[in-house]
């Protein structure tokens, strides 16, 4: 196989992607980080050097890692953190999947601080290849003016009363502007020890520009690389045709707006046929503030970028000390005067594109379930110190950083079948799947918020979703070619029913991708095919990480 080799150094820099200076964690000084691009069948090799003060790990979101579970990059699950000052090389092949993925730090809340980037897999077998001329990546994300460690500490303290940190801004491909006069109004107006930030803020930072040639068709790969907010993405006066969700090709369907929750991806086709001169049109990523518990007065939820005919696209933001690491981007474009789709076209709900709109191109009916796992997710405030915690069933996850569950499963006593509960600490909810079978996973959400749940190492069938708790035999199931994806939004006080085949040996996290909720413990794990896991020949370098930390 062809080897795609990357060398990355992760370090902290003070940067201003939206004009507001703050410390961020960047890969090779870029934000968003470098794109990993490969063909199906290639070997991806990434040497990561950690020049930060904390340990880290990089997760390849959506990669199956079949036979290489220890390359899944999840601290507390598949590896110990890469210690400061050290390097670790990820190495895996991509045998049977293609489409739009991303990579991000899976250690503490580090990805919120900038350790994110696109991961694109091409294949000659892609069914929609002939339908477009060019490929673009559009990352949308919420953005905070304070570092994630401070925000997570606040969220997990009594002070928050369970209310998540609300973003200060949103970004498209790492850029946006911010009205600095609002800096004092922000929910968290001060960074510890340094005023309200107004003196570190520059208004009118430029938005990202997506340059297009008249007459061409573009595949735009939309990725929500954020931590909390879901968006409705649209382009003025241009319809979008959805052709892929989370690496699964879809029957093309036209939409005006694409709802996208944290960690989800959609490819859409856009035909650049609205102008022949150098005209601009707004790209809108409307942040869904209905899903926040409090209002941040400094936040403008209408996040924008510009689709510009006959212009080059903005490159990824790169540190550059001559401009204080501000987002200066390209020469200022004139603000477009294009008009938005009408309001009626967008629902205020935090939910996914409906199943009727997401028909996998390679149709498959959901296999019949061999076994069922029922999970209940909730938040509880511990009465004694009033710290807010997320629970899957009775367990609130705390990563065991020096003893990932994968190594426990290999080295621990017992194992190889039976009830694994005795093998793991009480902070770990691990469900063992002994043999290859179709698992029906029911998740009941007892919380008032919507939660984007991701299963590592798999694509699942979304066979059901609705309000209230799932009632077997009563709630309708959608068996005929249901959407298949790796991240699904569970509605507020609602449920989802997923099915997946447990044919991939390893320890796989299943968690809410809202970073604050993962920090609060909303994560459980599947141990698939334990006897094969016991026989894993884990590279020595993976074990050495645990000795070093």
Give residues in contact with ligand C2O (CB under 6 A): 59, 61, 74, 104, 106, 263, 454, 456, 509, 511, 513
Q: Which residues contact 37 (CB under 8 A, 6 or more apart)?
A: 4, 119, 120, 121, 122
How far is it, in rounded angstroms, from Cα 247 to Cα 264? 10
Q: Whole-angstrom Cα distance, residue 358 to residue 252?
A: 9
Nearest distance, CB of residue 196 and ligand C2O, angstroms: 33
Closer Cβ to ligand C2O, 28 or 74, answer by number: 74
Q: How far is the CB of 476 from ligand C2O (least distance, A)?
A: 29
Q: Is 282 or 516 the residue whose CB approaches ligand C2O more closely?
A: 516
- 181 DSSP 8-state letter: G
Of 373, 407, 319, residue with least CA distance to 75: 407
CB of 265 to ligand C2O, least distance (A): 11
Tokens for 18?
A: 């939206």
Please report how close the Cβ of residue 485 comes to ligand C2O at its closest, in angstroms. 13
The least distance separating ligand C2O from the CB of residue 473, rounded to whole angstroms, comes to 32
Our CB check for ligand C2O shows the closer of 119 and 172 to be 119
Indicate the SS3 state at residue 387. Answer: coil
Nearer to ligand C2O, 106 or 451 (CB): 106
Q: Which is nearer to ligand C2O, 115 or 389 (CB)?
A: 115
Terminal alpha carbon distance of the chain: 33
280-287 and 231-235 beta bridge pairing: antiparallel
Q: Quote the CA–CA distance of 300 and 289 in Å, as a whole number.
A: 10
- Decide whether 61 or 326 has the Cβ nearer to ligand C2O: 61
In the sheet where 280-287 sits, what is the strand order? 209-212, 302-309, 280-287, 231-235, 258-260
Q: Which residue is nearest to ligand C2O (CB)?
A: 61
Element (H, E) at 317: strand 317-318
Q: Tell whether the torsion through CA atoms of 121, 125, 130 and 131 is positive or negative.
A: negative
Query: What's the min distance (Å) between Cβ of 542 and ligand C2O?
Result: 18
For residues 309 and 516, which CB has a smaller minimum distance to ligand C2O in the complex?
Answer: 516
Residue closer to ligand C2O by CB (options 183, 514) is 514
Prior bond to 473 cis, omega within 30?
Answer: no
Structure tokens at 263: 């960690």
Least Å from the CB of residue 109 to ligand C2O: 12
Which residue number, 148 or 338, has a Cβ lying nearer to ligand C2O?
148
Return the number of the residue (167 or 226) whose C-beta is nearest ligand C2O: 226
Which residues are 414's β-sheet partners?
Answer: none
Task: Count the neighbouring beta carbons within 10 Å of the beta carbon of residue 530.
Answer: 25
Query: Which residue is associated with the tokens 């049977």?
Result: 96
Backbone angles phi, psi at 459, to 5 degrees: -115, 135
Give min distance, CB of 206 to ligand C2O, in A. 29
Tell me the closest approach of the beta carbon of residue 454 to ligand C2O, in angstroms. 5
The helix/strand/coil state of 346 is coil
At 401, list the tokens. Answer: 């950083």
Q: Which residues sit opposite 118 in a β-bridge? A: 102
CB of 487 to ligand C2O, least distance (A): 8
């Amino acid at each position: 196989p062809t080897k795609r080799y990357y060398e990355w150094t992760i370090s902290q820099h003070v940067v201003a992607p939206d004009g507001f200076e703050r410390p961020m964690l960047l890969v090779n000084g870029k934000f968003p980080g470098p794109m990993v691009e490969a063909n199906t069948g290639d070997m991806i090799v990434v040497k990561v050097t950690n020049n930060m003060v904390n340990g880290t790990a990089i997760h390849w979101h959506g990669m199956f890692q079949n036979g290489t579970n220890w390359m899944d990059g999840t601290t507390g699950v598949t590896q110990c953190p890469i210690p400061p000052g050290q390097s670790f090389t990820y190495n895996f092949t991509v045998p049977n999947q293609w489409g739009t993925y991303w990579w991000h730090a899976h250690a503490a809340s580090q990805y919120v601080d900038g350790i994110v980037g696109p991961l694109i897999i091409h294949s000659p077998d892609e069914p929609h290849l002939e339908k477009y001329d060019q490929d673009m990546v559009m990352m949308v994300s919420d953005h905070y003016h304070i570092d994630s460690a401070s925000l997570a500490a606040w969220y997990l303290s009594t002070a928050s009363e369970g209310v998540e940190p609300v973003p200060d801004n949103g970004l498209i491909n790492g850029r946006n502007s911010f009205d600095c006069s609002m800096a004092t109004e922000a929910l968290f107006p001060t960074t510890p020890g340094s005023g309200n930030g107004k003196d570190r803020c520059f208004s009118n930072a430029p938005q990202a520009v997506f340059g297009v040639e008249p007459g061409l068709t573009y595949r735009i790969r939309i990725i929500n690389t954020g931590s909390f907010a879901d968006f409705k993405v649209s382009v003025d006066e241009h319809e979008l045709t959805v052709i892929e969700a989370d690496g699964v090709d879809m029957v093309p369907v036209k939409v005006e707006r694409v709802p996208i929750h944290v960690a989800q991806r959609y490819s859409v086709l856009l035909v650049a046929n609205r102008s022949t001169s150098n005209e601009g049109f707004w790209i809108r990523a409307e942040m869904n503030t209905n899903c926040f518990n409090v209002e941040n007065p400094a936040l403008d939820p209408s996040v924008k970028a510009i689709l510009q005919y006959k212009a080059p696209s903005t490159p990824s933001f790169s540190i550059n000390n001559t401009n204080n690491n501000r987002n200066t981007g390209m020469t200022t474009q004139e603000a477009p005067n294009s008009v938005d789709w009408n309001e009626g076209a967008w629902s205020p709900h935090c939910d996914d594109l409906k199943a009727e709109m997401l028909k996998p191109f390679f149709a498959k009916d959901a296999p019949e379930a061999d076994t069922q796992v029922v999970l209940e997710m909730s938040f509880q405030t511990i009465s004694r110190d009033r710290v807010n915690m997320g629970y899957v069933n009775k367990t609130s996850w705390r990563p065991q950083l020096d003893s990932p569950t994968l190594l426990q499963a290999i080295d621990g006593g017992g194992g190889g079948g039976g009830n694994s509960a005795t093998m793991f600490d009480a902070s770990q909810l691990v469900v063992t799947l002994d043999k290859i079978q179709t698992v029906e996973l029911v998740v009941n959400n007892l919380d008032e918020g919507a939660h984007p749940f991701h299963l590592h190492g798999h694509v699942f069938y979304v066979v059901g979703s609705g309000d209230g708790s799932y009632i077997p035999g009563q709630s309708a199931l959608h068996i005929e070619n249901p959407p298949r994806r790796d991240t699904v939004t569970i509605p507020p006080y609602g449920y989802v029913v997923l099915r997946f085949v447990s044919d991939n040996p390893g320890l796989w996290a299943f968690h809410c991708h809202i970073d604050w909720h993962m920090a609060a413990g909303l994560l459980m794990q599947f141990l698939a095919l334990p006897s094969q896991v016991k026989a894993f020949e884990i590279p020595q370098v993976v074990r050495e990480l645990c000795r070093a930390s």
